[in-house]
Amino acid sequence: MALIFCSRTDDPKEWRAEFAEVMPELDFRVWPDIGRPEEIEFALVWDPMANRLLDFPNLRLIASLGAGVDHLLAATTLPDGVPMTRFVDDNLTQGMREWVLLYSLYCLRRVPEYLARQREQDWHRLDVPFAYQRRVGMMGLGILGEASASALRHIGFPVIGWSRGKKDLPEIECFTGAGELDDFLALSDILVCLLPLTPETEGIIDSELLTKLPRGACLINGARGSLVVEADLIQALESGHLSHAVLDVTRKEPLPADDPLWQARNITITPHVASVTNAKSGARLIAKNIRRIQAGETPHHLVDPKAGY
């Protein structure tokens, strides 16, 4: 029973050690040392190998190392009928919840302005609102969006959310689909994006959408860079319509040295670290799905290829 591991960011040594503990019978192979391809039954992937999955004729599971599966669905050659799973893990959710709380408070408490003033040795107060005076709009109310929204609600922000299907969440006003997007945007002082990247959502955060936010709004994108039209975002920051943007993700990663985002005004960039896949808990949840497949059961957290997430 062999698994092929392929990731541009995750450390194979760490994952090998965790699988050795939790599933010692598993033959853990690391791309490109695949051995005999017909022995590979499970693939654990983040990005670069997606176009090579047809090389394994006996594949029974394609497990994404990320919650987002756009990297897999963008591949032109995916084997038919092999179940594909998202990465859904309490540690990943905790990481995102912390990142969203951190940067929502960072925007609320005007930290970027204080940091700029510190560089000028400027000791003055700014007016700062309470959380209950600024509404957060959460785009995407899935595993990560819902957990982050409820944490924001817990510290006093009024929170609204937007998703594809109708939701009913405690203390969070929920908006649904394209028909309710404008009403949702008009109320969002801090817009947090935790949508998956799909053909429907690509480029959704463009100048038209940004104009519908209240003047002075902030954008926090922890999802995927290609959801945002970056030139439109820079323009909205330049004009002052947006007061700040926090991006953990960008269209090109790593962000090239000459990308205008680096120099844009009022922007904070983190290098795709909002929440990082954890090998200890991750190996356990993948092993659980492998055992389900061996028992003839359906794995947890299946991707719906039609919906794109």
What residues are labeled active site? 224, 272
What is the C-alpha to C-alpha distance for residues 190 and 151, in angstroms, rounded to an integer? Answer: 15
Q: Is 67 in the site for ligand OXD (CB under 6 A)?
A: yes
State the binding partner of 309 from ligand NDP, ligand OXD, none, CB within 5 to 8 A by kind: ligand NDP
Nearest residue to the partner ligand OXD, using Cβ: 66
Q: Is 66 in the site for ligand OXD (CB under 6 A)?
A: yes
Residues 95-154 that bind ligand OXD (CB under 6 A): none
Distance of CA 7 to CAs 39, 53, 176, 197, 252, Å?
A: 20, 14, 35, 19, 17
Minimum Å gap between C-beta 146 and ligand OXD is 16
Contacts with ligand NDP: how many residues (CB under 6 A)?
31
- Return the DSSP state at 186: H
State the binding partner of 163 from ligand OXD, ligand NDP, none, CB within 5 to 8 A by kind: ligand NDP
Q: In what order do the strands lie in the sheet with 190-193?
A: 172-176, 159-163, 136-139, 190-193, 217-221, 242-247, 267-269
Minimum Å gap between C-beta 83 and ligand NDP is 16
Residues 226-285 that bind ligand NDP (CB under 6 A): 248-249, 272, 274-275
Residues 165-224 that bind ligand NDP (CB under 6 A): 165, 194-198, 200-201, 222-224
At position 96, the amino acid (one-letter code) is M
Q: Is the dihedral of CA 206, 209, 214, 219 positive or negative?
A: negative
Q: Residue 69: beta bridge partners?
A: none
Q: Is 63 in the site for ligand OXD (CB under 6 A)?
A: no
SS3 191: strand
Q: Which is nearer to ligand OXD, 108 or 195 (CB)?
A: 195
Residues 142-171 that bind ligand NDP (CB under 6 A): 142-145, 162-165
Out of 5, 15, 28, 87, the only residue in the binding site for ligand OXD (CB under 6 A) is 87
State the binding partner of 225 from ligand OXD, ligand NDP, none, CB within 5 to 8 A by kind: none
Q: Which residues bind ligand NDP (CB under 6 A)?
A: 66-68, 92, 96, 140-145, 162-165, 194-198, 200-201, 222-224, 248-249, 272, 274-275, 309
